[in-house]
Chain A
Amino acid sequence: MSDDLLVLDHVEKRFGGLKAVSDVGFRVPRGSIFGLIGPNGAGKTTVFNLITGVYRADVGTIRLRSAAEGGREQELVGKAPSAIAAAGVARTFQNIRLFASMTVIENVLVAGELHRRAGLIGEVWRTKHAREDEHAVRARARKLLASMGLADVEEAPATSLPYGSQRRLEIARALMLEPKLLLLDEPAAGLNYGEAESLKAQIRALRDEYALTVVLVEHNMQVVMGVCERIHVLDHGITIAEGTPSEVRANPKVIAAYLGEEPTSEGEGEAGGESETAARPEAKAP
């Protein structure tokens, strides 16, 4: 039996009469970089929302396994989003969701809240514990921001950052949780060829440095094919293929799904011509 961190089994989600996701199941090996792809409306982001508890799956199980052999399994379905985050699942958002009125470092510090020992009264009283916590959390946040190339803008309002920096800030915030599993929702959206190349290297480096398992929803085939070790393909909420990048690329069903939607979008170096990525939110000016 392989060592899987995340196991989805027969997951189904309906909105009204519409099945957004039906009977989806996959296993994400520990320490791997796993891709989740599919044409628009395939249900990729919905799967992320199901894993992180934003939506609750109607049918099926989503389990998180601990590292130890025969270790504990946690059922994520039915847990609150904050509890799932506490269990070690961090994410970024397709349409960036930073805390708008807060500075860059404050955005990251919020995610350190879980690792504090002092309660409300301790914090207001500024006990020794509380001060030590704050110190430790701040130091960690600084380190993460530095590793994301954001050290210079720590005290700037988060929404004043350029678009690419906002994406990196979201990743820094997610890492502050000290997660086991990192879900990245379209991290390459709006990046050019060179930026996408460096993103690939960055994702690998993150995985190695923080001992992460990464699941990626992405339209940019250059990134997906270049960095993912396994890829799961959805279309209209249904699994149509899974395998290594070369297997997936050769799969006739996958080609049909993409061709059926947008004939020229197949292949490397193209973002897939998706309207989702075209609707790039403008970074607000400082």
Chain B
Amino acid sequence: MRRVPAVVLFAIGALTCVGLDLAYDGLVSWDRGSKFWLHILVVCAINVLGATSLNVVNGMAGQFSIGHAGFVGIGAYLGGAIVSNLALALKIPVAALKDNLSLGQSFLLLPVALVVVGLVCAAIGFVVGLPSLRLRGDYLAIVTLGFSEIVRLTVLGISADSATNPLTRAIASLGGSLGYRGPKVGEDYLGVPSVAGPFWTVGIAALAVFLALRLKRSGFGRALRAVREDEIAAAAVGVDPAKYKVTAFVLAAAGAGVAGALLAVQRDGPGIVGPANMKFDKSFEVITMVILGGSGSVSGAAIGAVLYTVIFYASEEALHQLAQAVPAFGSVDAAALRMTLFATALIVVMLVRTQGLFGERELFEKKADDGTPKPPSPSSDDATGTAKEALAS
């Protein structure tokens, strides 16, 4: 097996990401139009991270979570709050914070923010994962949905005038239905700074895919699949299902949190974190990416995420063009149209090809029973297969 030392791999990856990051600014100043494409790249990367992390729980561990957006949302609020407050504490001028920050400045803010977000979300993932010890299937799914809805409704439900203690005041400072726009500077809100360019987004997404692949191929990943297939049999050979399931939740939550933080502080970002980030629709989007690509397949989920993002923007653009030609299309709800499209796609996938595009296989990976000795008692299919191969060679 060919092996590239991990250090070399990382160095190449890091340099590529730095290059991408610098190219982003260069391209944008050279041609404003390229901003659109670079923005898609950044969103793609964030979605890959979200899908890769959900895949650990839904695909590898077989615990169906439909509350991923809850973790993404917590990560977004927390990441936005840390980055904006830290930026003020480091005395980065307010005027600079209104614009994209440089790669150098991002190193002051993001490492701290991402580590804190990852750890906090991992801890919450641990708590949300605990019910998986008692509940299965749709019951567990409901608990995860309940979790994300509780988080969202709490942010929405506590307003500044009903806040009485430090905790509710902190939640109220997240802006309720208006969204979080950073701390107040003078009369105005600062806005959540735009910090994370391709270096961070693409870099972390690539790292996550790499780690997820390694996880899947490790003994841990094998045991996780065993737990998914049959908990009782797994426990009978010494694999503690509780430990593996909860670990899967922790890893997925940390990944989702980081994805959320990057979403909040992405370059040319919205400057605002809204509670809509935690709506069930968002969880459904990530589920769509994972299932279209193939639950359990790391590259499948990543490709699902890229496909989803591309279709997202392509449909948006197509509708925009269409509306210019036929004014009647101007009133069409693009989000609803998209959801119609993806929901239909998922239903069809479930009916026609339940395992998604890749099944559990990875890109460039052969089928499990290809190229290996066949059982000694081959079925007639195998026999004709070998005969054909013999003829062909």
Q: Report A-B touching, CB under 8 Å.
A: yes
Residues of A at under 8 Å CB distance from B? Answer: 52-54, 80-83, 85-86, 90-91, 93, 97-103, 106-107, 109-114, 116, 120, 123-126, 130, 133-134, 137, 152-157, 160-162, 173-174, 176-177, 285-286
Considering the complex, which residues of chain B in the window 221-246 have a beta carbon less than 8 Å from any beta carbon of chain A? 222-223, 225-226, 229-230, 232-242
Interchain CB contact under 8 A, A97 and B230: yes
Q: Find out whether the CB atom of A85 lies under 8 angstroms from the CB atom of B237.
A: yes
Select one of B233, B235, B247 contacting A120, CB under 8 A: B247
Alpha-carbon distance between A173 and B369 when the two chains are bound, in angstroms: 20
A residues in contact with B214, CB < 8 Å: 123-126
Binding site of B, secondary structure by majority: helix, strand, loop or mixed? helix
Q: B373 to A152, Cβ gap below 8 A?
A: yes
Name the distance in Å between A204's Cβ and chain B's nearest Cβ.
Answer: 23
Q: Does B377 contact A (CB under 8 A)?
A: yes
A98 CB to closest chain B CB, in angstroms? 7
In angstroms, Cα B368 to Cα A106, docked, is 11
- Say which residue of A101, A285, A286 sits within 8 Å of B360 (CB atoms): A101
Q: Which 7 A-B pairs have the closest CB atoms?
A: A155-B372, A81-B235, A111-B237, A123-B218, A85-B238, A82-B240, A97-B233
Evaluate contact between A90 and B220: CB separation under 8 angstroms: no
Q: Which of A93, A98, A101, A137 has the most CB of B within 10 A?
A: A101
Contact of A100 among B229, B377, B379 (CB under 8 A): B229
**Do A80 and B235 form a contact, CB below 8 Å, given A99-B230, A120-B247, A124-B214?**
yes
Tell whether, in the assembled complex, residue B375 and residue A90 are in contact, meaning their CB atoms are under 8 Å apart. no
Contact B233 A160 (CB under 8 A): no
**B215 contacts chain A at the CB level, 8 A cutoff:** yes
Please give the residue numbers on chain B whose beta carbons come within 8 Å of chain A beta carbons, in ascending order.
6, 211, 214-215, 218-220, 222-223, 225-226, 229-230, 232-242, 247, 360, 368-369, 372-377, 379, 381-382
Instruction: Give 17 A-B pairs besides A114-B237, A123-B215, A125-B214 with Cβ atoms closer than 8 angstroms.
Output: A54-B232, A54-B236, A80-B240, A102-B226, A110-B226, A113-B219, A113-B223, A123-B219, A124-B211, A124-B214, A155-B368, A155-B372, A156-B372, A157-B368, A161-B375, A176-B237, A177-B237
The docked-state distance in angstroms from the alpha carbon of A152 to that of B240 is 30
> Of the candidates B211, B223, B230, B379, which one forms a contact with A286 in the assembled complex, judged by CB atoms under 8 Å apart?
B379
Q: From B371, which residue of chain A is reached at the shortest CB distance?
A: A155
State the CA gap A155–B373 with chains docked (Å). 8
Residue of A nearest to B229 (CB): A99
Closest approach, in angstroms, between the C-beta of A284 and any C-beta of chain B? Answer: 12
Q: Could you show 17 A-B contacts with beta carbons less than 8 Å apart?
A: A53-B235, A54-B235, A82-B239, A82-B240, A93-B236, A99-B225, A99-B230, A100-B230, A101-B360, A102-B222, A110-B239, A114-B238, A123-B214, A123-B219, A130-B219, A174-B237, A177-B238
Looking at the assembled complex, report how far the CB atom of A191 sits from the nearest CB atom of chain B, in whole angstroms. 17
Please state if B369 and A112 are interface contacts (CB–CB under 8 Å): no
Residues of A within 8 A of B240 (CB): 80, 82-83
Contact A155 B229 (CB under 8 A): no
